[in-house]
Structure 1
């Protein structure tokens, strides 16, 4: 477990640092003064000041932040209050929008780099059918072993994982399957079959055995496909959670993620350090995308919520009063803290 905790802390630091570094670099480029750059929450373990910015590492691995001069009407010194130089509120709306957006964008960039590593060392599974379930929906539609699925409901299929995601999104609806068989293109209508025991819809095909080892150009191409797939899967999971199609147990905080890292580590450690590293990179990629997607949600206290206020400012031609926006984000932060406590208690309960 100690090794898993260390691995989680490394992953956590990489993701949070990349997110906050995105904010930091674009803020500095636009002349916005960063008061503090910190990783974690709670009391500081280590801190130092350089170039007018305080850098801190805090006790609890549950987030981080870039604190800007004059953000939400706070942290404004006398000089900044009078002259506005370095104040977040005095920067142009475009500069502020770019600064806020840079955090989630940085998460997608680092996730793409992780995807490149995964594709380069592991390759990708192509959307080739290895077998068809007897009496299943695919057999009834006329699909056969060796068929390569190219589109589902008009959406391009690049990898085997895309098929599984399309089946999940479809939720049992009819699927228009375009495929290639011995160089010939064709399409069929497939109607998934519901299984009461598994409480899911099955399309009746097996795959994930046609491994493609990528060249350098293909690595960049398929790295993007892996990124695209993971973003779609993350967004779909959020929608299913909101609709009640996923239980609260599907949500995990730091404790749950440490447990997941530990389970993964135990499963692959006997296969060598390279397997451990690749699996940790895969977890880091998924978490980085989750962090990016979550922060883009239009909710108070998140980057997406701040972007909403900036869009309102662009439309109105004047900003929402900083003190009012600050109150909204404060309320969002309180709600977020309550959610984090709930997730923490839920994670601990699953261990008992």
Structure 2
């Protein structure tokens, strides 16, 4: 596989699993009537920014996740107070634009000093225009313009906090849920591509061929039947083949293979590894058959279960300190592993993408501040108390959690880069 393809597939994997997660938040937030201000992939400075309807879609510099910014959760609404001079633009007797600066440059506007303003409930503004008060109704999607930036107002019924606990919980849980759905679909696709091992196999096939190894330099192809090695019948005894090759470092080995019903011989010279054992760079595979719909469904569910258990085993080791810093990986390590797996073929990359999607869904449900799991806990407490927790306190908890996660990400990424520089 060409390097350009590998890079493209690596970027695509990240884009797909993050986008599907954020799309879950976005879709159910919009369905609940919440104003979604931004749909972002990545963090940090904007690389690409496009506005469609009420939402701005952005691609940001740091590929460490993404976010959906909902009205009522963001700090960027500009505070407008009585006594401030503004200009408004009307359409059909409704205010559609509120200008907060550069008022002398605005044309076709009404200018005055604010007497009262309510952009959440009554959607009205009263201005003192040359000594006379005049009231205007404000359009629910009116824009506030300040310093060249447009910000849509958010009436109370369009804000996240105004929705029921169930609606907010669904908008939050939908992100991980979509990762679980994606993982299930991708595991199913992997099973369809890889097939199901046949019962009572009678032959061994050439599986993956490693790049820059002896097997990649001779006429071997995935799917070739391995008949004999140095005249010894192999059958399905992979260990026997490993034993013969392992005892022949730098000594030519004759493999007889069968391709499309035709037998042919391939001479290959194993290279010694660090222990002096001969290696040729192939893995063996057993014959497979196409999976039925039922086998695909149950097989995908089984893979989901097994991978979930493995993920929680990893969390257990992390919690009880049974790990080293090198055991952790950030975006750099993930991209490196993804590129390596991409070279193995679409089937293996599909399985790896499913695992990453499953991991992202589970990780986001952990009760760690700033993650979806923590936000769901706050909503659960609100449901029990029948009143919300102080938003300022909750925001502070999430802010601290996010800062700590970003700090850990920086440390892990720095370690990943050092490891690459050292060639480990």
Q: TM-score if structure 2 supplies the norm length? A: 0.59
Output the CA distance in 1 between the equivalents of 2:6 and 2:33. 40
> C-alpha separation between the residues in 1 aligned to 2:303 and 2:338?
20
1:346 aligns with 2:346: no
Question: Corresponding residue for 2:378?
Answer: 309
Is the 8 Å Cα contact of residues 10 and 342 (structure 2) preserved in structure 1?
A: no
Instruction: Note if 1:319 corresponds to 2:392.
Output: no
Query: What is the SS of the residue equivalent to 1:214?
Result: coil
Distance of aligned partners of 1:127 and 1:329 in 2 relative to their CA distance in 1, 3 Å threshold: farther
The aligned counterpart of 1:45 is 47
Q: Which residue in the other structure is 2:7 paired with?
A: 5
Matches within 5 A, 1:141-156: none
Cα distance in 1 for partners of 2:321, 2:289 equals 37
Check whether the contact 1:80–1:87 (CA below 8 A) recurs between aligned residues: no
- Structure 2: state its 5+ residue gaps: 79-117, 123-154, 201-284
| SS of structure 2 residue aligned to 1:111 | helix
1:159-238 equivalence runs, <5 A:
213-238=290-315
Compute the displacement of 1:79 (Å): 2.6
Equivalent pair of 1:8/1:261 in contact (CA under 8 Å): yes
Residue matched to 1:246: 323
User: RMSD over aligned Cα, in angstroms?
Assistant: 2.5
1:54 aligned partner: 56
Q: CA deviation at 1:51?
A: 1.9
For the 8 Å contact 1:110–1:288, the answer to whether it is kept is: yes
C-alpha deviation, 1:3, in angstroms: 4.2
Give the SS at the match of 2:308.
helix
Alignment partner, residue 24 of structure 1 = 26
Cα distance in 2 for residues equivalent to 1:48 and 1:311: 35
Structure 1 residue 108 and structure 2 residue 185: aligned?
no
* Separation in 2, partners of 1:236, 1:261: 21
**Relative to total residues, which structure has the larger helix share, 1 or 2?**
1
Residue pair 1:76, 1:87 contacting (<8 A) in 2 also = no
Which of 1 and 2 has higher RCO (CA within 8 Å, sep 6+)? 1
Q: Do the aligned partners of residues 309 and 125 (structure 1) sit closer, same or farther apart at CA in structure 2, a change above 3 Å counting?
A: farther
After superposition, the C-alpha distances for 1:243-268 in whole angstroms (9 at most, x for unaligned) are 122333222111101221233344x2
CA–CA distance in structure 2, aligned partners of residues 126 and 228 of structure 1: 23
CA distance in 2, matches of 1:51, 1:251: 40
Is 1:96–2:168 an aligned residue pair?
Answer: yes
- Identify which of 343, 351, 355 aligns with 1:282: 351
- 1:304-327 deviation digits (Å, cap 9, x = unpaired): 010010000011110101111111
> Structure 1's 91 and 245: CA in aligned 2 closer, same or farther, altered over 3 A?
same
Secondary structure of the corresponding residue to residue 244 of structure 1: coil
**Maintained 8 Å contact 2:368/2:401:** yes
Structure 1: how far apart are the matches of 2:334 and 2:375? Answer: 27
- On the 8 A contact 2:121/2:156 being kept in 1, the answer is yes
Within the candidate set 58, 64, 79, 2:119 is matched to 79
> Which runs of 5 or more structure 1 residues have no equivalent in the other structure?
129-207, 269-275
Conserved 8 A contact 2:37-2:71? yes
Retained in 2: the 8 A contact 1:41–1:63?
yes
The secondary structure found in structure 2 opposite 1:300 is coil
Equivalence for 1:122: 194
| Structure 1 residues 125 and 247: alpha-carbon distance in aligned structure 2, compared to 1, 3 A threshold | farther
Give the SS at the match of 2:369.
coil
Q: How far does the alpha carbon of each residue in 1:167-219 deviate from its partner, in whole angstroms, 9 at most, with x for none? A: xxxxxxxxxxxxxxxxxxxxxxxxxxxxxxxxxxxxxxxxx969674212211
Give a deviation string over 1:44-77, Cα, whole Å, max 9, x none: 1111112211111112211110001002x64557
Contact 2:9 2:342 in 1 (8 A): no
Shift of residue 334, structure 1, vs aligned partner: 0.6
1-structure distance, mates of 2:173, 2:356:
18
Find the structure with the greater CA-based Rg: 2
CA distance in 1 between counterparts of 2:383 and 2:364 reads: 21
